[in-house]
Chain A
Amino acid sequence: MPVLMVHDLVKKFGTMTAVDHVDFTLDPGEILGLIGQNGAGKTTTFRMILNFIEPDQGQIRWQGQPFTQAQYNQLGYLPEERGLFPKMTVMDQITYFAELRGMKRATIRAEVPRWLDRFAVKAKPTDKIRDLSKGNAQKVQLIATLIHHPKLIILDEPFSGLDPVNVSLLREGMLDMKREGAAIIYSDHNMTNVEQVSDQLVMLRQGEMVLNGTVDQVRQQFGRIKVYVETTLPQEQLAAIPGVVRITPRRHDLELTLADEAVGHEVFKLVTAQGYLPEFSQQPPTLEEIFKLKAGADHE
């Protein structure tokens, strides 16, 4: 049974539709990346899942049941804007949030040092939150989100503001929780992270769901419309092939965008006519490209 089922979710604020008929399910041990531009409806979707705001239409089910207080302890939530009590110590802050999730005080106190090590937090449990760097405070908040081993984890832009080292620490943390069987839903603007971590992704545009599926499924939907080729042929000759939409020179090769993946055969024929070719690769577009393509449709 899915941990989370979101069905036909709609939320309007006045005349603006923030979330428009959104559907997805999330199984145990699965990570779902929710992508979309700012204002696409990601946070509103999270707030409805968390029961902060009521949907105008649709259903949200936790393990087949409506959300009740019984599920509070099985949830881990990291909001987009981080918030901690500056005057509290690291230990007291994590203890407060973890106790609210039903953990025993003694267990929390015993586990905190291990979690601080795991996320390489450069702080002692007795340090005040206000004395921590932004990155370390962010990691403390992440620990408070995960320490009670929740079954459903909601992370609103968890990578934002982290340096590459901490990004990989967080990525590892998410994969560890996934291995423990937690279902994770998170939002992000970095498509490399999404591609590396997510089992499935949902893209929202102006509240509407424009993409849904596994990363491979989403990429394959667009076909192998990208060709990367290293050739001495003049660009004009390649551009003359019907179906070549655009040619973008890169450092060592050319990137060709095709109208259809079948055009790849014509390109291959032309560039191999003279014999040896160091590079020819035909691929679906990257998530980054798909994101830009889909988000760009707003402005057309």
Chain B
Amino acid sequence: MSKFRIVFRQVYLKNLKSGTYIWMVLAPLVFLLIGGVITIGIVKTQQPVNVALVTPQAELAPLVASLPKKNDSYQRATKITTEAQAKRALSRSKIDGYAVLTSQNNQMKVSYVSRASGQGLPFSTLDAQFNQLSLQYQAERLQLSGAALQTLLAPIKTTQTTVAFNDRGKAEKRDNNQQVVNTIVATAVSVLMMMFIMMYAGMIASEVAAEKGTRIMEIVLSSINVNTQFIGKIVAILALIMTQLGVYVVLGLVGKPLVTHFLFQEFPAVKSMLSNFQLPGLAAGQLVLTGLFLIVGIMTYTVLAAMLGSLVSSVEQAQQAITPLSMVAVLAYILGIMAGNGINNTLIKVTAFVPLLSPILAPARVSAEAMSVSAGWLSLLISVVVLMLLYYVSLIFYRANVLVYSDSNLWQSWRASWRILTNRQRQSRP
């Protein structure tokens, strides 16, 4: 077996079996599951608002009776027909409120009474229904024809259209609630990116610092070329990312029909709610772009974290070593959240192309439909080029640092490794 494969397998299997990695893979699924269970719980336990609609005037009783017994907003207590009954039912918490319809001088009047501790009455729905009822009542009183009544009752027709422009400048229809969906998806992308980047960066920095601190590094590097060892570690981390994404793809493919079948059958309301949303992140191109940004982003932070991990002399110092990197990631995360919330200023636009920031920011902007997919690909290309450069720079510093032990702080270690590098270059000159 080649020495690259030996290092690769060791790093891959060791981390694959570690609690940190297993938690990192499972965490989004656990959060999703908890969120789902809570939502289902809320939907299941939510009772419709119980309301009694009564009138003391006999001529209005048929009108009140004609109102729907049940709709999305409330459920009528049809057995309650008088105000006294309604009051009693309210005091016994059997209903959340009641409405009393009266007519004086041919003018309809509605009085609502609701219990402070009960569910709020759906006033707008009830108002609309009573308005309709009032129109019907007045039309009948004025003896209007059926056609005239239809004309009078016909509501004004309104349409609302929100558009998003695709790469070719073509407008695509969006529902009004799309902005909310975009914000949610972009925020989720930023949070997950930040979480994965920091966990993988921490993983490689600890790996390097632990091997260095325990002198395992000395044994390994007396058996294998440092370049082979470095690339073995980096590729193992790449394989861990691919494994993680693979787990999600498989779970997604297997789990989606099960979840949608169960969810839509049990809760038709969820189905109708989801059909109103267009999920921008689920478009194939955007999904691939986000996945690639995730890989490139994690790899960029990983090679830098490996270099920083090689500066310190013990695993306890690993987190301190990657602090500068964490600060950059936090900045990218904040910008990503801002982009997800629709902020579209010059800073956000420019930084979406800056490597280290773009892996979080660009997918968030693409998800928020503030950046076209083709601009996203351009940003990815820049990140890939910079990743390759950083790989070589990190390797050079890693080679210089990884067997140099020092009790000094990070900055002094950095300066010492710079001196070693420049000395080597001077020596290698003829």
Instruction: Please give the residue numbers on chain A whose beta carbons come within 8 Å of chain B beta carbons, in ascending order.
Output: 47, 50, 52-54, 69, 72-73, 75, 77, 79-85, 87, 96-97, 99-101, 105, 144-145
Contact B218–A72 (Cβ < 8 Å): no
The interface residues of chain A lying within 8 Å CB-to-CB of B163 are: none
Residue pair A54, B427 in contact (C-beta under 8 Å) = yes
Q: In the bound complex, do residue A97 and residue B223 qualify as a contact, i.e. CB atoms below 8 Å apart?
A: yes
Chain B residues with CB under 8 Å of A75's CB are: 222-223
Min C-beta distance of A69 to chain B, whole Å: 6
Given contacts A52-B403, A99-B6, contact A84 B216 (CB under 8 A): yes
- Name which residue of chain B comes closest to A71, CB basis: B222
Contact between B222 and A83, CB atoms less than 8 A apart: no
- Interchain CB contact under 8 A, A100 and B3: yes
Which positions 148-167 of chain B face chain A at CB distance < 8 Å? none
Interchain CB contact (< 8 A) of B10 among A81, A82, A96: A96
For residue B18, which residue of chain A has the nearest CB?
A: A87
Q: Is the CB of B218 within 8 A of A79?
A: yes
Is B219 interfacial (CB-CB < 8 Å)?
yes
Q: Does the CB pair A72–B403 fall under 8 Å?
A: no
Most buried by B among A72, A83, A99: A83
Given contacts A83-B211, A99-B6, A100-B3, 6 further A-B contacts (CB under 8 A): A77-B219, A79-B219, A83-B215, A97-B219, A99-B1, A100-B220
What's the nearest-Cβ distance from chain B to residue A149, in Å? 14
B224 part of interface (Cβ distance < 8 Å): yes
Q: Does B214 contact A (CB under 8 A)?
A: yes
Evaluate contact between B6 and A50: CB separation under 8 angstroms. Answer: no
Distance (Å) between the CB of A88 and the closest chain B CB? 8
- Contact residues in B for A82 (Cβ distance below 8 Å): 215
Q: A54-B424, A72-B223, A99-B1 given as contacts; is B403 within 8 A of A77 (CB)? A: no
A85 lies within 8 A of B225 (CB): no
In the complex, which of the residues A53, A99, A100, A145 has the most CB atoms of chain B within 10 Å of its own CB atom?
Answer: A100
Is the C-beta of B221 less than 8 angstroms from some C-beta in chain A? Answer: yes
Give the chain B neighbours of A50 by CB distance below 8 A: 218, 222
A47 and B223 in contact, given A79-B218, A84-B214, A99-B6 (Cβ under 8 angstroms): no
A77-B218, A82-B215, A83-B216 known; A69 vs B403 contact (CB < 8 Å): no
What's the minimum C-beta distance from B318 to chain A, rounded to whole angstroms? 16
Closest 9 CB pairs of A and B: A83-B214, A100-B223, A83-B215, A83-B216, A77-B222, A79-B215, A79-B218, A81-B215, A52-B403
Q: Is the CB of B221 within 8 A of A52?
A: yes
Residues of A within 8 A of B225 (CB): 69, 72
27 A-B Cβ contacts within 8 A? A50-B222, A52-B222, A52-B403, A53-B403, A69-B225, A72-B222, A72-B225, A73-B223, A77-B219, A79-B215, A79-B219, A81-B215, A83-B211, A83-B214, A83-B216, A83-B219, A85-B14, A85-B216, A87-B14, A96-B6, A96-B10, A97-B219, A100-B3, A100-B7, A100-B219, A100-B223, A105-B1
Which residues of chain B from 210 to 249 have any CB-CB distance to chain A below 8 Å in the complex? Answer: 211, 214-225
* Assembled-state Cα–Cα distance A69/B214 (Å): 23
Q: What B residues does A73 contact at CB under 8 A?
A: 223
- Pick the most buried of B14, B219, B220: most chain A CB atoms within 10 A of its CB: B219
Q: How many A-B Cβ pairs are below 8 Å?
A: 58
Give the residues in chain A near B214, CB-CB below 8 Å. Answer: 81, 83-85
Given A47-B403, A96-B6, A99-B6 in contact, is the A52-B224 Cβ separation under 8 Å?
no
A72 touches which one: B7, B217, B224, B427 (CB < 8 A)?
B224
B424 — which chain A residues lie within 8 A by C-beta? Answer: 54
Binary contact track B286-327/A, C-beta < 8 Å → 1, others 0: 000000000000000000000000000000000000000000
Within 8 A of A (CB), among B402-430: 403, 424, 427
Task: Please measure, in the bound complex, the distance between the C-alpha atom of A75 and the C-alpha atom of B215, giving whole angstroms.
Answer: 17
Q: Which residue of B lies closest to A96 (CB)?
A: B10
Q: How far is the CB of A138 from chain B (nearest CB, A)?
A: 13
Q: Which A-chain residue is minimally distant from B420 (CB atoms)?
A: A53
Looking across the interface, which residue of chain A has its beta carbon closest to that of B224? A100
Question: Closest CB of chain A to B143's CB: distance in Å?
Answer: 91
Q: In the complex, which residues of chain B have a beta carbon less than 8 angstroms from the beta carbon of A72?
A: 222-225
Question: For residue A68, which residue of chain B has the nearest CB?
Answer: B225
A23 to B148, CA, bound (A): 116
Alpha-carbon gap, A58 to B216, bound state (A): 28
Q: In the complex, what's the smallest C-beta–C-beta distance from B240 to chain A, in angstroms?
A: 17
Closest beta carbon of chain B to A278's beta carbon, Å? 52
Chain B's closest residue to A52 (CB) is: B403
Partner of A100, one of B6, B211, B217, B427: B6
Contacts of A99 in B (CB 8 A): 1, 6
Cα–Cα, bound, A82→B217 (Å): 11
Residue of B nearest to A80 (CB): B215
CB nearest neighbor in B for A78: B219
The B247-284 residues at the A interface (CB cut-off 8 A) are none
Q: How far is the CA of A72 from the CA of B3 in the complex (A)?
A: 11
Give A20 Cβ to nearest chain B Cβ, in Å.
Answer: 18
CA distance A242 to B302 in the complex (A): 74
Q: Give the distance in Å from the alpha carbon of A84 to the alpha carbon of B222 in the complex.
A: 15
A96 to B10, alpha carbons, bound, how many Å?
Answer: 8
Once the chains are docked, how many angstroms separate the CA of A50 from the CA of B220? 11
Closest B residue to A53 by beta carbon equals B403
Shortest CB distance A176–B (Å)? 21
* Closest Cβ neighbor of B225 among chain A residues: A69
A52–B225 Cα distance when bound, in Å, is 11
Residue of B nearest to A100 (CB): B223
The residue on B at minimum CB distance from A141 is B219
In the complex, the answer to whether A101 meets B218 with C-beta atoms within 8 Å is no
